Structure 1
Amino acid sequence: MREATLALLRDLGMTTVFGNPGSTELGFLDRWPADFRYVLGLQEAGVVGMADGHARATGRCAFVNLHSAAGVGHALGNLFTAFRNAVPLVVTAGQQSRSLLPNLPFLGATDAAQFPRPYVKFSIEPARAEDVPAAIAKAYRIAMQRPRGPAFVSIPADDWSAPCRPVPARGWFPDVAPDPAALAEAARAIAAARRPVLVAGPEADAEGAGPALERLAERIGAPVWTSPFSCRLSFPEDHPLFAGHLHAAPQQVSDTLAGHDLVLVVGAPVFTFHVPGECALFRSGVPIIQLTTDAEAAAGAPAGAAILGSLRLGLPALAALLPEGGARPAPRPRPERAPPEASSPLTAPYALHRLRAAMPPGAILVEEAPSHRPAMHAQLPIRDWGGFHTMASGGLGYGLPAAVGVALGSPGRRVVCLIGDGSFMYSPQALWTAVRERLPLAVVVLNNAGYGAMRSFSRVLQVRDVPGIDLPGLDFVAMARGMGCPGHAVATPGALEAALAAAMASDGPMLVEVAVDGAVATLYERP
């Protein structure tokens, strides 16, 4: 069975394996083949985050090998994130030998296939050892169907030595184009609108359909907002039609989109909210048209009509049905922002402004600094498709391992991990893998000595004296050096410039800890 599985993985192009090995996986790891690459992570949550980043960077399914039930438990936070990110993963986990399972053995998982549900698209522990390669093949096909996501196979330890016939690789189902009649109806409504607006989400970038989205927006001549909590670049932020970022608050979404007579939502839910409230837009009678690959998101929309199908195929088809959009009012120009001033202590906006200047062309940004996201949007505009990644789930511990995976999948490109001090502490072990793999990864830790997002939410929700928010006494440079990664701690403008320049030039990973003041923007202020 082992040889049949390895042959299948070769045929599927999954010869990079992300894992943290254990006794129940030794049958798979025995006599490791020279044409396979094993990427070792020191904790299973980091392993899944690395695989997620690698799948995003390459556009291919990634293969993950976890250690038994405990390893799956460690990994669940980032498995949930991979599900929300719509990232294709085949996740396998070791299981105790079949002969021991009736007696609740050490390392045995009770009903292993149920453990990661509902945050996998498919989950199975095959009834027979000889069925394992076929189960992996099915998991691959399901993971690659849109909306993509993780699939899970539990494998008893003694299955690897069982006899098994080879399993031929099959392709996944191809992208399916939207209904032409639905697109034609949408085109008529868009053409009749006088002040349409677009809300763009992460699906276009995930499909490689970003340029097609730009052409559609230009054809319509409408402003484009990015959807709340978009986990990829949704629209180039230097494009003349780019309007800004919607926040995850119902009233603010409604207020921002007020005055438009049609809302076209492309590749995003309608809408992702984080705080309660009324969205008057849903009762206004303004037509909402949603184009998405995600049937669940379409079914869950509280208003509007949805068109299901590939954006890669649907966006050019819709654009071809539309007249040129030159007669509509031009979007209002965005006001020019004065660059933030240098100060002591450093502010997050200033640090991000200087990070933008330091990043080389083509650099990829991976972000997990939620309390500083408003400042990031203002100071660090993203321009390149495939140039930005974050998590859609809200679960911390994704950013650093994901940056490692993105760097592994993007040879020749500088990757920058922008991360908060609280977020860093969830998966610091990923730095060790970055060192081992000699990745060109710059890790910029914005240290405001606490959970800044909680400080912001406390203000929004008008609560006081919340415990557990402050994080004093953490030394990120010492942690990095303990894993073999050089680092610099900076607190002044001059030191910041020198440290960022060194990190961008380093041929391996380097960490820059930036001490910033504790002030954070309100996350749901009006955009």
Structure 2
Amino acid sequence: MTTVREATYDVMRRQAMTTIFSNPGSTEVAFLVDLPDDLDFVLALHEGSVVGVASGWAIARREPAFVLLHTTAGLGNAVGAIATARVNHAPMVIVVGQQDRRHLALEPFLAGRLEGLAGDYPLEVISPVRAQDVPSAIARATHRARRDQGPVVVIVPMDDWEAEYDPADVSAARVVRTPMPRTVDVLDLARMVADAERPVVVAGSGNDSADGWDRLVALAERIDAPVWQEPFGSRAGFPQDHRLFAGHLPADRPRVREVLADADLVLVVGCAALRQYPYAEGPLVPDGVRVAVVTADPDEAYRSPAELALVADPTEVVRALVTSLGPRPPEEPPAAPQVEETASPLVEAAPSPLVEAAPSPLVEAAASPLVERAQRVETHPLTSTAVFRALSTVLPRDTVLVEESPSSRPILQAMVPAREPLGFVSAAMGGLGFAMPASIGLKMALPDRPVVAVVGDGSAMYAVQSLWTAAHRDVGVLWVVMANGGYAVMDRLAERVGGKPPWPSFPEVSVGRVAEALGCRVVRVDDEAALSDALGEAASRLREPGGPLLIEVSVAPDTSFAP
């Protein structure tokens, strides 16, 4: 006799989902006992960390991760992480346990009202009508997660797993996904670009791939356009050490209008137009500036105030656009001295955070005013600038840098640019608790790449239990914890409105002590010499297997935060 559980295992094997990320309960026991040897079980100690680790895994592989959660409590604990997975385009199949369907009508202990618990953040919530339908539901969820790059929830009552499965009744169909046609109609977009005299490109997270970077570099060089990174993006959509990289686009309308004042076209590739944080009056872009959006996410296209939005693979659109534009016409001899090649009228009109020479040897294009201010006030204890300067000198070019240090993020981005795809990963949703577990999943999926997470001590406490998973499985992530003993970004925001915050600082909290209790090696530093030694030694081992390490750095609260 074949059971529903065994049939589901076969679906998982066919879909290359043989790693199970979970924190299970009693409603999942029947699925997990006597797990076949070819299926790997990864335990995290909180459901938010489960989804966080799976998110890193899925982002790195661009393939669905398999997550198993426990009824109402498990799904409820994971909702914030599921929201982040949706906005970060992390594909995953989330199976949620339910009480025995034979007495669900009586709402027994552990029965869950699960369908709407995660809101609209799952791409879809599937409740199989019969036990026979479970394998096909999981196959369907896998294809949806892969196609639309996000989380899909499947609710499975606990008695379904042992039910007899008859493949002649309803089988989990073997779906063959053929590639979409590579031809893309870019005629209207090509006309807009060709007509523009001062185009600007905004690179988004959806363009973060080797092909995406190569194509967008070719386009930017063809039209000689400065390239900005989308604000608050989860990934880097363009090499940030390229001569045309202009910096990170501001996240409020007045500053966006200022930096785009000299543009006549804004071409947004791989994200919506344009993400904001604080509300401000006035138009999003200056009057007369045309906006075009290229994204694979229909929701991003629909909400963008753009003249033209193409819903398609950005890589294919940009490839077709470069072909349509043809080679760049030869330039006539200049009648007057020209500006240097690395500058553009836009960059001159509105200096980006990365225009002037940076102290970091990795940032050839730029230094931020934030960095300059931080340098002028640098004293003991350590500042974020000192920490990131030290990081920039030791990190290999292909480092996957995971960020969750809100008050120092602008300085980090200015001093440690993304130089290869997946060079920067963050939580586009804005919620905390992503970086620690996601870095574990990223390293598990990319064992040959260095993975470094920069995390605030306040942020770390949202998912600190995920460190146990790294220690237990010997996953070689380096965490640099910026310990300022408080919520520095919240303090800065309170100062802006001239109010007194009610929340206290927490200088007695030590992420390092918690990490040691969870099995991680910890180094504590509070001066530049110790920092340099610790980072240098850690960097020399980033490509070696195993050995998770947390460096707890005592830093002064940042005063230069600018969203």
Same fold judged by TM-score > 0.5? yes
Q: Which residue of 1 aligns with 2:174?
A: 169
Question: 2:489 aligned with 1:453, yes or no?
Answer: yes
In structure 2, do the counterparts of structure 1 residues 178 and 452 end up closer, same or farther at CA, with 3 Å as the change threshold?
farther
Q: Which runs of 5+ in 1 are unaligned?
A: none
Superposed CA offset, 1:106-133 (max 9, x none):
11112x2222230011101111010011
Q: CA deviation at 1:173?
A: 6.5
Q: 1:119 aligns with which of 118, 121, 139?
A: 121
Separation in 2 of the partners of 1:473 and 1:411?
Answer: 35
Separation in 2 of the partners of 1:178 and 1:70?
Answer: 46
Superposed CA offset, 1:396-442 (max 9, x none):
00110000100110012221011011110000011100011111110
| Stretch moving more, 379-388 or 320-329 | 320-329
2:538 maps to amino acid:
A
Q: Which residue of 2 aligns with 1:349?
A: 385
1:375 maps to amino acid:
I
TM-score (ref. length: structure 2):
0.89
Separation in 1 of the partners of 2:115 and 2:131?
Answer: 15
TM-score (ref. length: structure 1):
0.95
1:18-37 → structure 2 map (5 Å cutoff): 18-37=21-40
1:232-271 → structure 2 map (5 Å cutoff): 232-271=235-274
Separation in 2 of the partners of 1:184 and 1:156?
Answer: 51
Separation in 2 of the partners of 1:139 and 1:425?
Answer: 32
1:332 maps to amino acid:
A
1:171-210 → structure 2 map (5 Å cutoff): 171-172=176-177, 174-175=179-180, 179-180=184-185, 183-205=186-208, 208-210=211-213
Q: Which residue of 2 aligns with 1:45?
A: 48
Q: Do the aligned residues in 2 keep the contact of 1:55 with 1:62 (CA within 8 Å)? A: yes
1:519 maps to amino acid:
D
Q: Do the aligned residues in 1 keep the contact of 2:475 with 2:547 (CA within 8 Å)? A: yes
Question: 2:508 aligned with 1:473, yes or no?
Answer: yes
Separation in 1 of the partners of 2:135 and 2:191?
Answer: 49
1:358 maps to amino acid:
V
Separation in 2 of the partners of 1:196 and 1:248?
Answer: 20
In structure 2, do the counterparts of structure 1 residues 73 and 421 end up closer, same or farther at CA, with 3 Å as the change threshold?
same
In structure 2, do the counterparts of structure 1 residues 378 and 248 end up closer, same or farther at CA, with 3 Å as the change threshold?
same
Q: Do the aligned residues in 2 keep the contact of 1:83 with 1:120 (CA within 8 Å)? A: yes
Tell me the percent identity.
38
Q: Do the aligned residues in 2 keep the contact of 1:258 with 1:281 (CA within 8 Å)? A: no
Q: 1:56 aligns with which of 49, 59, 71?
A: 59
Q: CA deviation at 1:443?
A: 0.6
Q: Which residue of 1 aligns with 2:518?
A: 483
Separation in 1 of the partners of 2:280 and 2:427?
Answer: 24
Q: Which residue of 2 aligns with 1:136?
A: 138
Q: CA deviation at 1:463?
A: 3.3
2:143 maps to amino acid:
R
Q: Do the aligned residues in 2 keep the contact of 1:503 with 1:511 (CA within 8 Å)? A: no
Superposed CA offset, 1:435-487 (max 9, x none):
11111110100011111211222233x23111115222111221111011110
Separation in 1 of the partners of 2:398 and 2:184?
Answer: 36
2:156 maps to amino acid:
I
| Stretch moving more, 305-314 or 429-438 | 305-314
2:550 maps to amino acid:
L
In structure 2, do the counterparts of structure 1 residues 306 and 207 end up closer, same or farther at CA, with 3 Å as the change threshold?
farther
Q: Which residue of 1 aligns with 2:499?
A: 464
Q: Do the aligned residues in 2 keep the contact of 1:222 with 1:331 (CA within 8 Å)? A: no
1:103-118 → structure 2 map (5 Å cutoff): 103-110=106-113, 112-118=114-120
Question: 2:537 aligned with 1:502, yes or no?
Answer: yes
Q: CA deviation at 1:87?
A: 1.2
Three-state SS of the structure 2 residue aligned to 1:450 is coil
Superposed CA offset, 1:295-338 (max 9, x none):
11211122321111111221100110114447597452721024
Q: CA deviation at 1:211?
A: 1.4
Separation in 2 of the partners of 1:232 and 1:173?
Answer: 27
